[in-house]
Amino acid sequence: MNKKDLHPESLMMSFGYQPELSEGAVKCPVFQTSTYAFKTAEEGKAYFELAYGLRDAQPSEEMGLIYSRLNTPNMEILENRMGLWDKAEDCAVFDSGMAAISTIFLAYLKPGDTLLYNQPLYGGTVHFIEHILPSMGINIVEFDAWDDPKEVMKGIRQKGQGDSLKMVYLETPTNPTNHLIDIEAYCNLAKEFSTEDKKVLVTVDNTYLGPMWQHPLQVGADLVVYSATKFFGGHSDLIAGAVMGNTQWIAKIKEMRVFLGNMPAPWTCWLLLRSLETLKMRMERQEKNTREVAKFLHHHPKVKTIHYLGFEEDMDARTRRIYRKQCSAPGSMIAFEVRGGEAGAFAFLNNLHLIKLAVSLGSTESLVQHPASMTHAGMDPDERDRLGITDELVRLSIGVEHPDDLIMDIRQALSDV
Ligand SMILES: Cc1ncc(COP(=O)(O)O)c(C=O)c1O
């Protein structure tokens, strides 16, 4: 039986782990050690030669364990398993989603390069792009999620930014407004500006729908990045990140990780391995619950607008076309405006009993937050409003509770607004 032919959910308990190497333990133990003993000096030398790329590996030669900043069994097994969902050749894990995102930029952008990115976007990513990258001499060019890619391409040409374009960074669906961006169209744009010496890479933050409901690598993206704090971890008890793609692209990211030292600790990797076993079940249940909650909110008199990907009949033609092309389910994120301005939104948030008022998403428990004053507080208020992140907007991440209880909580919270 070729294990790679099995479904990812069947492999999450075993792939990449050999019990005989760990006293027969069915579960991979936590390798709580900072360093590994070499059998001989020659072995240590050989491992370092491979680690530093001083020579190519011999056929069937594998790099051994050296030091926990470079590699650990927990990290290697985790990377092998996580990548299966996206059918990625390789995966690199990090100690946060932001560590994964910033390491991609540091590995691939240099002074003079241009980064094209969408808005709206997760607030931390916006901060890194707009406040840190320019100080390193990197040009940043923003577009709106709903812009026509052909117009975006024309704008880049007209402003003479094509030669320096090095990366297209997409977050789709966007956090917190659930706008969709056509990944394939931006891969075509990247191809237009790629030359023999310069490949324009397309990176997609797939935190909102991945790894179950959207697979950017399959529609042409080069790198897919995750806050693994969210659905991968799934229990609000760890912070982690991951990047996936072809071995060639991930190698440079792993090299940067060795020197930034932003890899996850063995215990975090162990927790993620535990979480992977229930990932599909959790995401399916969350998605089903969200359909029920969204149905309740859809025509509620206190709800002004709702951003949810499960109402195909309400979508404009552009969004529907993209949804059908690249998404297989609407996921478990809803953003909606509560009538009554910030006061109305805050009253709703303060009235909830079961749903927790906390940032983050993708966990077993439902969470709610107020993007304008929390995750996106660092943005210019006019720009926030323009992008639909209004004072009335709240963001819900639906968990695995009974949907009737979630609806009961939301009903009573809205009734007092
Ligand atoms: C879409 C998205 N990307 C990236 C991140 C950053 O991840 P982390 O908090 O794990 O650093 C977040 C965090 O909320 C997010 O929502």
**Residue 103 CB–ligand 1 contact under 6 Å:** no
CB atoms near residue 329 (< 10 Å): 18
- Is the pLDDT confidence value at 190 over 80? yes
- Nearest CA owner, ligand 1 atom 16: 122
Q: Do domains 8-33+68-276 and 279-415 have the same CATH topology?
A: no
Query: Cα 320 to the chain's mean position, in Å?
Result: 22
What is the arithmetic mean of pLDDT over 309-313? Answer: 96
- Nearest CA owner, ligand 1 atom 14: 360
**Residue 216 CB–ligand 1 contact under 6 Å:** no
Q: The whole model's pTM is what?
A: 0.97
Task: Assign 5 a pLDDT band (cuts: 50, 70, 90).
Answer: confident
User: How far lies 248's CA from each of 30, 60, 61, 107, in Å?
Assistant: 29, 19, 18, 13
Instruction: Report pLDDT digits (tens) over 362-393.
Output: 999 999 999 999 999 999 999 999 999 999 99
Tokens of 53: 């790329």
**Residue 175 CB–ligand 1 contact under 6 Å:** yes
Task: Assign 53 a pLDDT band (cuts: 50, 70, 90).
Answer: confident
What is the arithmetic mean of pLDDT over 267-287? Answer: 98
What is the arithmetic mean of pLDDT over 265-277? Answer: 98
DSSP code per residue over 165-203: EEEEEEESSPTTT-----HHHHHHHHHHT--SS---EEE
- pLDDT at position 416 is 86
Q: Which of 121, 175, 181 to mutate to test the pocket of ligand 1 (most atoms within 8 A of CB)?
A: 175
Who contacts 232 (Cβ-Cβ below 8 Å, separation ≥6)?
82, 211, 226, 240, 242, 272, 275, 276, 279, 362
- pLDDT at position 213 is 98
- Nearest CA owner, ligand 1 atom 6: 97
| β-sheet bridge partners, residue 93 | 242
CB atoms near residue 124 (< 10 Å): 18
β-pair type (303-307, 241-245): unpaired
**Residue 227 CB–ligand 1 contact under 6 Å:** yes
- Is the pLDDT confidence value at 95 over 90? yes
What's the CATH architecture for 279-415?
A: Alpha-Beta Complex (3.90)
Task: Assign 81 a pLDDT band (cuts: 50, 70, 90).
Answer: very high
What is the arithmetic mean of pLDDT over 219-241? Answer: 98
Q: State the Cα–Cα distance between residues 372 and 379, nearest whole angstrom.
A: 8
β-pair type (333-338, 393-397): antiparallel
β-pair type (241-245, 223-227): antiparallel
Kindly tell me the sign of the dihedral angle through the C-alpha atoms of 359, 95, 93, 24.
negative
What is the arithmetic mean of pLDDT over 115-132? Answer: 96
Q: Does domain 8-33+68-276 have CATH number 3.40.640.10?
A: yes
**With pLDDT > 90 as the criterion, what percentage of the chain qualifies?**
97
| β-sheet bridge partners, residue 165 | 114
Task: Assign 87 a pLDDT band (cuts: 50, 70, 90).
Answer: very high
- Is the pLDDT confidence value at 225 over 90? yes
- Nearest CA owner, ligand 1 atom 7: 97
In our burial notation (b when 16+ CB lie closer than 10 A, e otherwise), range 38-54 reads: beeeeeeebbeebbeee
**Residue 129 CB–ligand 1 contact under 6 Å:** no
What is the arithmetic mean of pLDDT over 153-171? Answer: 97
Please name the amino acid found at residue 228: A
- The alpha-carbon radius of gyration of the chain (Å, integer) is 22
Ligand 1 centroid vs 155 CA: distance in angstroms?
Answer: 29
- Is the pLDDT confidence value at 328 over 80? yes
Q: State the Cα–Cα distance between residues 53 and 63, nearest whole angstrom.
A: 11
Ligand 1 centroid vs 176 CA: distance in angstroms?
Answer: 11
- For 192-331, strand residue ranges (E) read 201-205, 223-227, 241-245, 303-307
Q: Map out the domains of the chain as residue ranges.
A: 8-33+68-276, 279-415
**Residue 118 CB–ligand 1 contact under 6 Å:** no
- pLDDT at position 3 is 74
Segment among 23-27, 56-60, 322-326, 406-410 with least mean pLDDT? 56-60
What is the arithmetic mean of pLDDT over 251-266? Answer: 97
- Is the pLDDT confidence value at 258 over 90? yes
